[in-house]
Structure 1
Amino acid sequence: MLLLFSPDKIHILFIIYNFGLKGIITQNCEIIQ
């Protein structure tokens, strides 16, 4: 369990999550434009 919640993995997941949000927002903006 400790390995699953290590700071490094959480940091990587956070980065992927942020890039995912930016990708969705970018796609939505392109559709609106």
Structure 2
Amino acid sequence: MTIIFQLLLTALVLLSFVLVVGVPVAYATPQN
């Protein structure tokens, strides 16, 4: 149970990190 919770927490942190980094990059790239 603890391992599953730890994996879920890690996935959540990674998802948050990807969103925080990815959104500004997506807006910074010129779109035509």
Q: Same fold (TM over 0.5)?
A: yes
Distance 1:29 1:14 in 2: 22
Aligned-partner SS, 1:20: helix
1:21 corresponds to: 14
Q: TM-score, normalised by structure 2?
A: 0.70
* Larger helix percent: 2
- After superposing on structure 2, the runs of 4+ consecutive aligned residues of structure 1 that deviate more than 3 Å are none
Which consecutive unaligned segments of at least 5 residues does structure 1 have?
A: 1-7
TM-score where L is the length of structure 1? 0.68
Q: Are 1:9 and 2:2 counterparts?
A: yes
Alignment RMSD (CA, Å): 0.7
Q: Name structure 2 gaps, 5 residues minimum.
A: 28-32
